[in-house]
Amino acid sequence: MADHSGEITEGCRLPVLRKNQENEDEWPLAEILSVKDIPGRKLYYVHYIDFNKRLDEWVTPDRLDMKKLQYPKKEAKTPMKNGLPGSRPSSPERDVKKSLDLHVQSASAPSRGKTLPTPKRKAESVSLATQVTAVTPVPSIPGSAEASQASVYPTIRDSSFSIKSREEHEPLTSLTTNGTTSIQRHLIPPQPGRKRKNCGGTDEDSQDSSDGIPSAPRMTGSLVSDRSHDDIVTRMKNINCIELGRHRLKPWYFSPYSQELTSLPILYLCEFCLKYLKSLKCLQRHLTKCNLRHPPGNEIYRKGTISFFEIDGRKNKAYSQNLCLLAKCFLDHKTLYYDTDPFLFYVMTEYDSKGFHIVGYFSKEKESTEDYNVACILTLPPYQRRGYGKLLIEFSYELSKVEGKTGTPEKPLSDLGLLSYRSYWSQTILEILMDLKSENGERPQITINEISEITSVKKEDVISTLQYLNLINYYKGQYILTLSEDIVEGHERAMQKRHLRIDPKCLHFTPKDWSKRGKW
């Protein structure tokens, strides 16, 4: 195989040998993004098609299946956005993306379909009131006008429902929920002038296709990457390894560190100020001068060894920029802005005798016109799968509760971010539904508005979570929620494993009115 390696160019596709999660050999199709010569052999940087970019890697020629080599399509010239000709060859992946973009732009309304599998349900349901029989599942939730009509005229049933525009609805009244087993309500229509995303997928590359993406990138907000500036450089990891305190991290994605740093075998970071240095000797010299033992900001929460620090992107610009550079190594869907002034950063740390060590963080806009309470959120890899992600999410909603607002994270979410938010929303909403008490022998009732107010989770996220859990049913002319034994048992098991929780009594936070520029 090695003697054919001279024929391989950037843009070629062919199967590449890799180990899967079971440590078995597999040959997924991959695209060659770059070729480099080192003494004695060539190395190829490959992206595995339909796999997350974090798995991209340099491979040796012996791992390439030359028999199934696919050359890139040749195009004489590719017109650019500004009308200037370009000569960049296209690849099958780019052609597919173009057709997907055209399809999304031509769609008249966002898709509302679910792409995640729904949990299986048992025939019997947990009921606090009368036994429910002949429950008809509802494929999608109608608008408030239709829901109220179904409540008044239970004999009228339509197998297909649609969500109408806001102008066709009456103002939202109460959404009654028939507690453990059922919830009756009039549904909330989407906000005007905004396409709501459903976060209905787990794959990072496919989740947006069913979420109703706007045809053009949103110009407001902060760190959402519009993907229009993707090129061969930003598609490749450029940092080999990062040493942060006692951890060594392998970056997943490109981050715009200085070019001179990309050739280093290890990039050293001060774990307290996040300053990056070229060598261990430079780091040791820096540590003798660095007085920080915690992030530079106000400590607004402490319980046990866990603390949260609030950092103003304007007052602590160097730290904020260094944090963004580090975070970009593990966040593909966000872009980096050096203008950190409009943002607040909330850094979670673990305390020991040496200081406060960064675990993760989230950022948010000081002023968000679209109710975003999180712009970027990240748990560093050494601390993942230990409950810290949910703790960050829970803390962001606790801040929203103090502010008296409902909030939602900026979209698109990464694959891991989506899983964390789905899990948090599900557990939070189920916790409320299972705590409802029946009155006078009737089913307990609650409204979507009340769930949103209690949790500070935006109404659209509450509804999409109920749909994702497949709890919504139609019974006797009203829309009800039915909690099966599977759902209840699964929730109880999950809550037993969730040891880390935010204690609101330990939060010392006073929100500011950022609309007054003097506060900046």
| Helix (H/G/I), strand (E/B), else coil: 248 | strand
Residues 87 and 93: their CA atoms lie apart, in Å, by 17
What CA–CA distance (Å, rounded) separates 519 from 517?
5
- The span from the CA of 426 to the CA of 461, in Å, is 10
**Rounded CA gap, 503 and 421, in Å?**
19
Amino acid at 371: D
**Catalytic entry in 75, 410, 431, 442:** 410
Q: CA-to-CA distance for 472 and 433, rounded, in angstroms?
A: 13
| CA distance to 151, 246, 437, 451, per residue, from 442 (Å) | 17, 57, 9, 19
Q: Distance between CA 135 and CA 122 in Å, rounded?
A: 13
Cα 259 to Cα 10, 53, 110: the distances in Å are 21, 21, 41
In sign, the C-alpha dihedral spanning 336, 341, 343, 347 is: positive
Q: Which residue type occupies 27?
A: W
Tokens of 142: 């109608």
Please state, in angstroms and rounded to a whole number, the distance separating the CA atoms of residues 464 and 460. Answer: 6
Active site residue 410: yes
Residue 17's closest CA among 75, 87, 64, 84?
A: 64
DSSP 309-331: EEEETTTTHHHHHHHHHHHHTT-
Q: How far apart are CA 62 and CA 65, in angstroms?
A: 8
Which residues does 116 contact at the CB level (< 8 Å), separation at least 6? 200, 201, 202, 422, 468
Residue with tokens 């905004």: 194
Half-sphere exposure of 249 (CA within 13 A, CB side): 27
* Distance in angstroms (rounded) separating the CA atoms of residues 100 and 111: 14
Q: How far apart are CA 195 and CA 436, in angstroms?
A: 33
Instruction: Tell me phi and psi for residue 489, to 5 degrees.
Output: -65, -40
Per-residue 3-state assignment (H helix, E strand, C coil) for 421-448: HHHHHHHHHHHHHHHCCCECCECCCCCH
Catalytic machinery residues: 410
